[in-house]
A and B are shown apart, each in its own frame.
Chain A
Amino acid sequence: METLQLLLGGFVTALSLQNFLAAGVGAILGILVGAMPGIGSLAGVALLLPLTFKFEPITGIIMLSAIYYANMYGGSYSAILLNIPGDTPAVMTGLDGHPLAKQGKPGKALFTSNIASFIGGTIGIIILTVIGPGLARFGLKFGPVEMAALIFVAMTSLGWLLGDNPTKGIITTLFGILLATMGFDSVIGTPRYDFGSIYLLGGVPFIPLVIGIFGFSQVIEMMELRNKKKGFDTEKLTLKDSLLTKDEIKRILPPSIRSSILGTFIGVLPGAGATTGAFLSYMQEKKIGKNGHLLGTGRVEGVAAAESGNNSAAAGAFAPLLSLGIPGSGTGAVLLGGLMMYGLNPGPLLFQNQPEFTWGLIASLYIANVITLAIAIMIIPSLIKILKVPVGIMIPLITTICIMGSYSANNSLYGVIMMLAFGVVGFMLKKYGYPIAPLLLAYVLAPTLEKNFRQALQISDGSMAIFFQKPIAAVLIGFFLLTLVSPIIKMVIGKIKTKK
């Protein structure tokens, strides 16, 4: 009851004209920046941070949060339409979103993405409102041992994420981990695998890698489609035709709700973030969803799972940020910096000492979610027109976006060169039937896995027994082992059945 009263008070603060407008402007800017390949939520929030300094602290933070939040919506657009994820969490959205666009249903994909983002965000914010501080305390129980065990579970699913050949999936996963080990050793801070190159000291740059593997490889592939004068087959271009049918809504609701709950929990974990949220939600749907085996072929369920997973994780990340002062992601760290610049100290006392601010911020997330959904739906018809552009024009257009995006990642032509190299790698992998999504996700998850795994072994003096001594880790490792063994058991059972 007290929470509800505080929330209502928060709505009074958030609904003042200035704060409402700030949330609206933040939502528009967030969508635009999120849709730009190569910018992403972290860089987007960081770049737009100075814009908020002109306002009162509460208005500034509301705007910043709306930017962060809307970024998650925007990131999926370029993934769906061009197969270039605007941000890492959108990688999973593109797995089903882009095939849907290719099938002539870009509007359905975008609409599903928006609705699922809204559901994910709403559930995430409700959970944050009700059990935010408690969730944050639970998240703190995830030390290196538990985090390593969680990523192990994620990694086992990676290889079988796509494709019929597990060997190829595992190879791309391992290749992704290999790339992630280049640069500085995150545990002891010494350089490794830099091969004497000053550029490789910082490791393989992430944004050029994403743009190259997904975007530029797509350009090379599109050369085969050049003879087609039209773009993809997009018959349905109106907003009305993009609306979901009753059957489609029924199909996306269960994965959206499941993924939102999982995503919020993932968002609460320190260092996990929206990417892990989207990834694990998609994996959950692939494993337990009614049409899980069809994911990756252009299913609305896949788009819904990924989008609600990443948006709820984005909301969940506010729990440790506000109640403990611990950012759940890199973008959370920028938000934390923003809060501190305004003289606010996030932590358990923030809820007590600054209730107007804290609950105003939480209430503004609800408002930002509604505003972002409205804007996102209105721009669907304009967005899907992109796919009507003939392939011949799309090739230089996407190449230009790839070059600009990879350059702006670190303001260096080195980024462009890396993007081109990974574009060729991505094209070769696709041509030979290797799934490319596991490479990227392994690259993202590997540093967290290595850091936590090594720290866990340091705690236990090198004994693996620590993974079975901690209850949460033991459960996760049990699940991990089950995931490893289950395909073999399934195969044996299948063979026995066919013999009979």
Chain B
Amino acid sequence: MKYVDEFRKPELIRKAAAEIRRLCDPKRYYRLMEVCGGHTHAIYRFGLKDVLPANIDLIHGPGCPVCVLPMGRVDDGLSIAASEANLIFAAFGDMMRIPGTRGSPLEHKARGMDVRIVYSPADAIKLAKANPQKHVMFFAIGFETTAPSTALTLVRAKAEKLRNFSVFCNHVTIIPAIRAILDSPDMRLDGFIGPGHVSTVIGCRPYEWIAKNEGKPIVVSGFEPLDLLQSIVMLLSQLQRKEAKVENQYTRVVPWEGNRAALRAMAEVFELRPYFEWRGLGFISQSALRIKPSYAEWDAEQRFHVPGIRVTDPKAAQCGEVLKGVLTPAQCKLFGKECTPETPVGALMVSSEGSCAAYYNYEHRKNSELTSLSLPA
């Protein structure tokens, strides 16, 4: 880890690192999954792997919403925008370079589509008000950290009877993805570093089955180096005591019960889809949100024709195995050859929070050009 002394409480960081070495049984192997893409990013950025013993492996989970979005959904959204006259396609900046079959939103913009970046779903509403002669479709993505904001935006749109606004909803929920990983026969995980910001919304209770039924410890963690190391200490000491429970390391931000106002907004607007496709994981039941019939007027999938395009990743792409921790990114046959951050083949190379992209940017390029490394987050 490059700069221990620059972080808050460096002496505690050293202590946590020593504690990890003490708790770590040299005769066994530990596979801990950090579920959240923000954690993956922080782990590489801070060089946390440098302070961990070699027999602790951090497996990077499915928690990057950009990475797990199937290409067919990007195509569907863009095809609505292409076939409707006067439609503005609005999305977060992170979406702009995601490749669709016929190019990314940015490339569609270059070919004349009205594509706009918004930084908040609330701004998509402002865009609609400013362009009353056009229809604004907001392409919504994200886990429970962004879903409540989309929900509240829809509540406002309905209250204001805004007629020229809709949402193409691609929100996903984290728990079913963890379940899919745990259910897969080649699963080899020992415990989980739980997502910090998703948990501010959903709280810690939804993880209890992981401890109770699956016998795996999970510690909800913050994003500072000390947070992550402390969470690993908590996981190792549970494993040493052969315990499995949900613990909250990030109490300064995450309430055990979550954010009720955010959960209320989500319950008002969204319902679970019977199933949804995840890139790299396939179809997972009840893993995504759709807009309730009471908001149908603001649901792009109800208003417009959705072609339902499906694009499968090339057979050689081993994203699923990497997601489950069976392979490391560099063990995928395409890694660094066909598949790079500039030319992503699989889901995990698409955004800087994807595990293959993070690995590529911080490990693969370590000794080469470390300057132009980071893709826009």
Partners in one complex: no
Chain B residues with CB under 8 Å of chain A are none
